Chains A and B, each alone.
Chain A
Amino acid sequence: MWLQVRLSEVCLFLQAMFTLACCFSDMESGPIATSGSVQPNGDRFKIEGRAIVPGVKTQDWISSARVTVEGEEYIGFLRTDGSFVVNDVPSGSYVVEVISPGYKFEAVRVDITSKGKMRARLVNFIKTSEVIRQPYPLQLRSSGPHTYFMKRETWGWTDFLMNPMVMMMVLPLLIIVLLPKVVNTNDPEMRKEMEQSMNMLNPNPELPDVSEFMTKLFSGSKSSSSKAVGGSKASGRPAVKRR
C-alpha cells in the first residue's frame, strides 16, 4: 500500500517538475542555442555533463565508470572531477547513461538538432515523443549504490514471537494460566456473574453437551459421566458448574 502512496507522490512531484520545466523552457533554450557547442569538424557535436555520487570521492568510482551513448555507439570517460564529454556525436536522439557497477544513475535522453541545439529530457521508451526537460549540460546525480543482494532471513526473538502460530499457542496459554488468578473466583458476586455469562453462552441449558452425550452413549453408566466431567477440569468452567 505504501508503494502506491509513494508512487502517487512521485507522480505529483514529476508533474510539478514538468510544469516548472515548461515555465523555464523558454529561458533555458536561450543560452543553449548560443553555446551551441559546434565543433570544428562540421556536424559533429559533443554531449557534456557531470556525474555526482554524493558522499563518495571521485577517485573511488570513476575508474570503473563510463558514459555510454545509445548502447555502446559512443563512449565517454569520466574526468577526475566527475565531469564528462562525449565527443564526435552527430545530430540525433540518444540515451545517455553513466554506467558504474557500484552506483545507480538515471538515464537521460539527449536530442541534438542538426544545428547543434541540445536538449535533455527524461527517458520514456513507450512514448518516445514525450518531453520532460532535464538540465543541460547534464547533471546526473547518483541515487545511491545498486542493490544487488537480497537480505537473508535472520532469526530474531521478535520474529519468533510475532509468528501467528506462536501467537495462537501462547495467547490461550496465557488465558488459561492467568485468567483464574486475575479473576477472583472466591468472590460470590463474581461467581454469580460468571455463571450468568455461561448461561448466556449456552443458550439452551437443557441441551446436553456433545461430549457428555457421546460418553453417555458409549459407556451408558452414570459414573462415567461424572468422570468425563472431572476429566475436563482444566478448563475451569466445569469446575464452576460442579460446585
Chain B
Amino acid sequence: MYKSTSLFVIFLSLFVVSEAVFEDQVGKFDWRQQYVGKTLFAHFDSHSQTSKKLFLATDKNIFASFNSRTGDLFWRHVDKAGPEGAIDILLLHGQDALMVVGDGRLLRSWDTNMGGLNWEAVLDTGSFQAACFVAIQDTVKHLAVLKNAAISLHYLTNGHQKWVENLPDRDTVQYQAVYSGGEEEIYVLGVVPNSHLTIIAYSLEDGEIIKQRSVEAPWLSSVESSCVVVGQGMLMCVDPGTLALYTLPIQSLDLEVSPGFQPVLVSSQPHPARSPISEFFLQLGPHHHVLLQLNGDGYTIAPLRDFQPAFLVSFATTGEKTVAAVMTPKNETVSVQKVNNSCFFFFFKNMSQSYLKSKCMCSYSVLLSDVFPPQLYVHAFLKKDDSVGYRVLVQTQDHALTFIQQPGTHTDTGTYTQTLERTHRHWNVHTDTGTYTQTLERTHRHWNVHTDTGTYTQTLERTHRHWNACKPKNTIPTVKHGGGSIMLWGCFAAGGTGLFGIDSKSGSILWKHYLENVQPNAVFKLIVQRTTAHFPHPPQCTLLIKDKDTGLASLHVFNPIFGRKSHIALPVLPRPILQSLLLPVIDQDYAKVLLLVDDQYKVTAFPSTKNVLQQLQEMASSIFFYLVRSDQGNLSGFRLRKDLSTERIWEVVLPTDVQKIVAVNGKRPNEHVHSQGRVMGDRSVLYKYLNPNLLAVVTESTDTHPERAFVGMFLVDGVTGRIIHEAVQRKARGPVHFVHSENWVVVSSSCCKATVVVVVEATVVVVVEATVVVVVEATVVVVVEATHHIYLYRNSKYFFLKVGLPSGAILSLPKMFLDPRRPEVVTEHSREENLIPYAPEMPIRTEWFINYNQTVLRVKGIYTAPSGLESTCLVVAYGLDIYQTRVYPSKQFDVLKDDYDYVLISSVLFALFFATMISKRLAQVKLLNRAWR
C-alpha cells in the first residue's frame, strides 16, 4: 500500500506545477556572491613565479584559494562552524598547505593545486599552542606541533607521527612557542609568568631532551606576544614594564613607548632551514615602528630607521633578498576624512651589509576613519632582471581585502567580505531600487514597489468582516522586540559596521554607509517608511539600531536609493526600546508612522507631527501590540490609549522550567489574502481562518533528553489572548524553523533521526451568531534532508515554500505537499480538490532547486518579496553567500517567454503580408481574364 501511494506521489509530482530553471536562464536573473569571512592567515603561492594563487584561512573556518589578479575564488573548503572547525594555523610549504584545526584536534595537509586533501591526522588531546616546520639540511620534512602538554613531530608526506614527547613541568610552565633554525634541534619555549623562561631543546631524531635551561625573567608574562627569535637563534624579548629590550634597556636607543601600549616585535624567518633574519621591527605605539638590527656579535642592537607614523609593517623574502614593507600615510586631510595611504618599501640585502633603499612603491587611497587597515601581507618575488617585485594584500577593518601589485594596479577582492555574515541577523528585502529614475519608471510596469497602506487596510477590512463580528478591533501585526530588520531591496544591513545598498540586478554595491558608534552586538530592524511611489518625496528608510545589553535604541533615517542620510528631526529615545511597530497610518508626507514602545510602556511616534498624533488618537482603541519576554516565558498583549500610554489587556505565561519561547510570528504586513477559502469536493466552501492578529508561538522544551524533548506550537489571538490551538511534537528538538501565513503554519524540527515538518491549517467550520468555531488540522511530513530554513513566499496564485538545505541548495516546495488535508485513501472528492494522497516522506527533486549548482552555504535566511509583475517573485538567500534570483511559480504567464521566437513571428507576418499582396494581384489578373472571355 505504501509503495503504491508513494509511486502515485512520484507520478503526480511530475505533473505538479514544478518550478525549475531552464538551462539558458543560468545567470540571467540570478547572481551569487561568495564570501569567506575575516582573514586570519594569508599566504601567497610562492611555489612558482607566475602563480596567481592566494590562500586564506578565515574566522568562518574556511580555507580558500583566490586568484590574486582578479579576486575570483578558485575553491574553498567550508568546515564545521564553531570552535570545532576553527583554523589555528595555516602554514604553506611548496604545494602543500598545512593546517591545524579545532584547537589542535586535527592536522590537515591540502594539495593547493587541486584543492583536495592530502591527508588528515588526528592529534592528541590538548590545546594548540604553536606549530612550525622543521628542516634538516635545507629540506623541510617535518612539522612540529606544540600543545600545552606535549610536543609532536609529524612527517609532511603522510601526517604520521614521528615522535611525541610530554613536556616537563607542564603544570607550572606555559609552553608557548616552538622554534627550529635548521639544526638537529627543536627548541620549545615555555614561561612561568613573572618568574622565569624555560628553553628545552629536543633532538629531531628521537625526541630526547638534549638541553634544558631556564632563564630568570621576572618581567616576562607571555612569550607569544613579546618575544621573537632574531638572527642566529637569539631570542629577543620586549618588556613592557621596565621598557627593556632583551637585556638592553630600551632607553639607550632613545626610543619611547606610547603610554599604555604593549610593545610588539615583528620578525621573519624566511625559510625553516635557515635562521631568521637579524633585522626586526619594534612597534612602540599604535602608529610608531622602529626597524632594528641585531649586530653580528649578538649583543648590540642598532636602530636602522624610525617610522612614524606607520600603520603596518611586514617582511617578505625572495631568494637572497628581503623586503620590509611599511605602510605610511602620505597626506592627511582631516576635514574630508580621506587619507592617501602609500606603501614605502625598504629593502636591504641579506644580513651582512644593510644598505637601505627606500622609495614609495605604490599608493592607494582608503577612507581611513572608516576602515583602518589592521593587517598587511606582502609577497616579494624576483623578476627576470633580478629586481624584486611585490604583491601586497591589505586587509581593512571592514574585512575587505585589497590586492596591490607593484605597477600600481590594484584589485579589490571582495569589498565586504565580512559584513555579510556578521550582520545578517536579519536583513530583509522589500522593494527594488536601482537608480531613482529607473525605479520611477519601473513602478508602473515591472517592479511595482508595493504601496502597503491601501491594500493593507483593505485586507484588514475584509478579514475583519469575515471572521470577527464580535470584536470590532484589529491589531497591527508586530514583531518581537529586538527582532529582525527589514531591508529595502538592495540594501544590506551590516552588523556594527555598515549599511549597503546593493543593486538587485547585478549584486554590485551602489552605496555604502558606515555607521558610527554601533556596538558589535547590536540588533537591527529596517523599516520602509515611504516607498518610491510618492514622487516629490524621496523614499525613506529607517534603521532601528538597538544595543542588546542596554536596550537603548537609535534611529538612522536615510534615502535607500542614494544612501544619503536624511535631515529629519529624530525623536529622543532615552529609555530602552522593547517593541517597534509600523502602522498603516501615513502622515501628510506619505511616510508611515513608526511606533516605538519603551520599557515603561510609553509609546513614541515617528514622525510625530500634529497630523499623526491626531490620527493616532482616533485610531488608538484599535491599535494593539504584544511583547515577548522569553526569559520569563511571558507573552502579553497591550492596547494603545489616546494619550499614547498603554494598558495591558492579556497575558499568556508559558512556564520557563518546562519550555522556552523560541519564536513568535505574526502576520506579515505585506501579505495579501487572495482567497477566502477553497471549494471542497462536495461543492461546499471551506473558509480559511483569516485572523490578521493571529500569532504563532513556537516553544522548545528545556529538557534536552531526546526521549523527553518536545517542540510546542501555540496559536494565540493577538487581541484577546485566547489560545486557539496548541500542538506538541514529541521527541523533537531544535533548531526550529517555521512559517506563518494566512491560516497556515509550518514548523520544522528534527525528530527521530530525520527532519519533521508539521503543517497546521486553521479553518472556520461554523459561523453561528458571531461565534466562530475554528478547526485545526495538522499533518506530519518527514523531509529526507535536514532542513535548515523554511521560508514562505507566495505570488498571486500559489504558495511555495523556500527551504534551505544544508547542502546549499534552495528548494522550492509546492504547498500541495504540505497540505494537512492530504488523504490516506484517495476518494472522488479528494481527487476533485487536487489533493495528493498522504505519504510520510517528502520527495526532493533536484529540478526544484532554484539555485541549481550555485550553492549557498550556511543559510541564515531566505527572503522573498512579490514584484510588481504578477507572476514574478524575488528571492534572496543569504548565509555565507548571497544568492538572488527571480522565480515564476506558475510560469511566466504575463511575460513573453525567454525563447520567444521573434524571427519566426515576424517572418510569418511578412510572409502573410506578401502573400496577400500577391494573391490580390493574381485575383485582379484572373478577374481581368474572365472579363475578356
A77 and B114 contact, Cβ closer than 8 Å, known pairs A104-B846, A128-B752: no
Cα A195 to Cα B17 in complex, Å, equals 55
B753 x A63 contact (CB < 8 A) = no
For residue B575, give the distance in angstroms from its CB to the closest CB of chain A: 41
CB distance from A201 to the nearest CB of B (A): 38
Residue contact B124 to A41, C-beta cutoff 8 Å: yes
- Main secondary structure on chain A at its contact with chain B? mixed
Give the chain B neighbours of A242 by CB distance below 8 A: none
Q: Which residues of B contact A41 (CB under 8 A)?
A: 122, 124-125
Is A139 an interface position by the 8 A CB rule?
Answer: no
How distant is B367 from chain A, measured CB to nearest CB, in Å? 36
A152 close to B116 (CB less than 8 A) = no
- B682 at the binding interface (Cβ < 8 Å): no
A126 in contact (CB, < 8 A): yes
Mask, A134-170, CB within 8 Å of B = 1, is 0000000000001111111001000000000000000
CB-contact partner of A3 in B10, B18, B786, under 8 A = B10
Q: Is B169 part of the binding interface, using a Cβ–Cβ cutoff of 8 Å?
A: no
Which single member of A39, A125, A149, A150 contacts B753 (CB below 8 Å)?
Answer: A125
The interface residues of chain B lying within 8 Å CB-to-CB of A58 are 114, 116
Q: B116, A146: Cβ atoms under 8 Å?
A: no
Known: A149-B21, A150-B22. A125 touches B841 (CB 8 A): yes
Q: Does B412 contact A (CB under 8 A)?
A: no
The answer, yes or no, to whether A87 is at the interface (CB within 8 Å) is yes
* In the complex, chain B residues whose CB is within 8 Å of the CB of A77: 77, 108, 116-117, 120
Residue in A7, A41, A79 whose Cβ sees the most chain B Cβ within 10 Å: A79
Q: Are A80 and B116 in contact (CB under 8 A)?
A: yes
The answer to the question of A88 belonging to the interface, with a C-beta cut-off of 8 Å to chain B, is yes
Q: A102 interface residue, CB < 8 Å from B?
A: yes
B124 close to A152 (CB less than 8 A)? no
B484 at the interface (CB under 8 A from A): no
- Kindly state whether residue B892 has any CB partner on chain A within 8 Å: no
B119 within 8 A of A: yes
Taking a contact as CB atoms under 8 Å apart, the answer to whether A101 and B853 are in contact is: yes
Q: Is there contact, CB below 8 Å, between A126 and B782?
A: yes
Interface centre among A46, A58, A66 (most CB of B within 10 A): A66
Q: Which of A88, A125, A152 contacts B784 (CB 8 A)?
A: A125
User: Which B residues touch A88, using CB under 8 A?
Assistant: 105-106, 122
* A149 to B901 alpha-carbon distance, docked (Å): 21
Determine which of B26, B114, B806 lies in contact with A62 in the assembled complex, contact meaning CB atoms within 8 Å.
Answer: B114
> Is B21 within 8 A of A93, CB to CB?
no
In the complex, which residues 7-64 of chain B have their Cβ closer than 8 Å to any Cβ of chain A? Answer: 7, 10-11, 18, 20-24, 26
Complex: A80 Cα to B782 Cα, angstroms: 36
The count of chain B contact residues (Cβ–Cβ below 8 Å) is 55
* Residues of A contacting B111 in the complex (Cβ-Cβ under 8 angstroms): 80
In the complex the two chains form, what is the Cα distance from A79 to B782 in whole Å?
33
Q: How many Å lie between the Cα of A188 and that of B854 in the bound state?
A: 76
Known A-B contacts A39-B122, A128-B753; A150 and B20 likewise in contact (beta carbons under 8 Å):
yes
User: What residue in chain B is nearest A153 (Cβ atoms)?
Assistant: B899
In the complex, B381 has a CB within 8 A of chain A: no
Inter-subunit contact A4/B21 (CB<8 Å): no
Cβ of A99 within 8 Å of any chain B Cβ, yes or no, is yes
A-contacting residues, B638-697, CB 8 Å: none
Question: Within the complex, which residue of B118, B122, B806, B852 is in contact with A149, where a contact is CB–CB below 8 Å?
Answer: B852
Q: In the bound complex, do residue A71 and residue B78 qualify as a contact, i.e. CB atoms below 8 Å apart?
A: no
Q: In chain B, residues 710-763, which have Cβ atoms closer than 8 Å to a Cβ of chain A? A: 752-754
Partner of B852, one of A44, A125, A148, A151: A148
Task: Select which of B18, B20, B120 is within 8 A of A85 by beta carbon.
Answer: B120
Name B847's contact: one of A11, A66, A150 (CB within 8 Å). Answer: A150
Residues of B near A19 (CB, < 8 A) are none
Q: A41-B122, A68-B806, A126-B840 are in contact. Are A87 and B901 (CB under 8 A)?
A: no
Which chain B residues lie closer than 8 Å to A85 at the CB level? 120
A-B contact number at CB 8 A: 126
Task: Considering the complex, give the chain B residue whose CB is closest to the CB of A123.
Answer: B784
Task: Check if A152 sits within 8 Å of B20, measured CB to CB.
Answer: no
Choose the segment among B79-87, B293-301, B625-633 that binds chain A (4+ C-beta atoms closer than 8 Å): B79-87
A40 within 8 A of B: yes
Contacts of A126 in B (CB 8 A): 2, 782, 840-841
CA distance A73 to B853 in the complex (A): 23
CA distance A95 to B784 in the complex (A): 11
A46 to B20, CA, bound (A): 38
CA–CA, A84 and B26, complex, Å = 32
A32 interface contact, C-beta 8 A: no
Q: Which of B108, B116, B786 contacts A78 (CB 8 A)?
A: B116
| Residue of B7, B81, B782, B853 with most partner-chain A CB within 10 A | B853
**Does B286 sit at the interface, judged by CB under 8 A?**
no
CA distance A64 to B77 in the complex (A): 7
Q: Are A146 and B846 in contact (CB under 8 A)?
A: yes
A75 at the B interface (CB under 8 A): yes
Measured CA separation A207–B807 after assembly (Å): 76
| B8 CB to nearest chain A CB (Å) | 10
Contact for B22 among A39, A76, A152, CB less than 8 A: A152
CB-CB under 8 A from A104, the residues of chain B are 846
* Complex interface bits, A1-31 against B, C-beta within 8 A gives 1, otherwise 0: 0011001000100000000000000000000
List residues of chain A with CB within 8 A of the CB of B10. 3
Say yes or no: B754 contacts A125, CB within 8 Å.
yes
Per-residue contact bits, chain B 870-902, to A (CB 8 Å; 1 contact, 0 not)? 000000000000000000000000000001010
Residues of chain B with a CB closer than 8 A to A79's CB: 116-119
Taking CB atoms, residues of chain B closer than 8 Å to A3 are 7, 10-11
Chain A residues near B2 (CB-CB < 8 A) = 126
Q: Is the CB of B753 within 8 A of A148?
A: no
Within 8 Å of chain A (Cβ to Cβ): is B231? no
A72 interface hit (Cβ, 8 Å)? yes
Q: A149 contacts B807, CB within 8 Å?
A: no
Is A213 among interface residues, defined by CB-CB distance under 8 A? Answer: no
**Any B CB within 8 A of the CB of A113:** no
Determine the chain B residues whose CB is within 8 A of the CB of A149 once the complex forms.
20-23, 26, 847, 852
Residue of B nearest to A81 (CB): B116
Chain A residue nearest to B63 in the complex (CB) = A77
Q: How far is the CA of A204 from the CA of B642 in the complex (A)?
A: 91
A114 on the B face (CB < 8 A): no
Least CB distance, A186 to chain B, in whole angstroms: 29
Assess whether A211 is interfacial by the CB under 8 Å rule. no
- Cα A101 to Cα B881 in complex, Å, equals 15
Across the interface, which residues of A come within 8 angstroms of B7, CB to CB? 3-4, 7
Nearest neighbor of B125 in chain A, beta-carbon distance:
A41
Determine if B198 is an interface residue (Cβ-Cβ < 8 Å). no
Residues of chain A with a CB closer than 8 A to B120's CB: 76-77, 85, 87
| Contacts A79-B118, A87-B120, A126-B782 given; does A72 touch B81 at CB 8 Å | yes
| Interface presence of A202 (CB below 8 A) | no
Task: Find chain A residues with CB under 8 A from B849 CB.
Answer: 146, 148
Distance from A121 Cβ to chain B, minimum over Cβ atoms (Å): 13
Contacts of A147 in B (CB 8 A): 846-847
Judge whether A40 and B21 touch: CB under 8 Å: no
With contacts A40-B122, A148-B21, A150-B20 taken as known, whether A71 is within 8 angstroms of B806 at the C-beta atoms is: yes
Q: List 13 A-B contacts (CB under 8 A).
A: A39-B122, A41-B124, A62-B114, A63-B77, A66-B78, A71-B786, A78-B117, A79-B117, A87-B122, A93-B753, A97-B807, A99-B808, A147-B846
Seed contacts A64-B75, A101-B854, A126-B840; 12 additional CB < 8 Å A-B pairs: A41-B125, A75-B79, A77-B116, A79-B119, A80-B116, A87-B106, A125-B753, A126-B782, A128-B752, A146-B849, A149-B847, A152-B23
B contact residues vs A (CB 8 Å cutoff): 2-3, 7, 10-11, 18, 20-24, 26, 74-75, 77-81, 85, 105-106, 108, 111, 114-120, 122, 124-125, 752-754, 782, 784, 786, 806-808, 840-841, 846-847, 849, 852-855, 899, 901, 904
Q: Which residues of A are at the interface with B, using a C-beta cutoff of 8 A? A: 3-4, 7, 11, 39-41, 44, 46, 58-59, 62-64, 66, 68, 70-80, 84-85, 87-88, 93, 95, 97, 99, 101-102, 104, 125-126, 128, 146-152, 155
List the 5 shortest-distance A-B pairs measured between CB atoms, nearest first: A63-B115, A63-B75, A148-B852, A101-B853, A80-B116
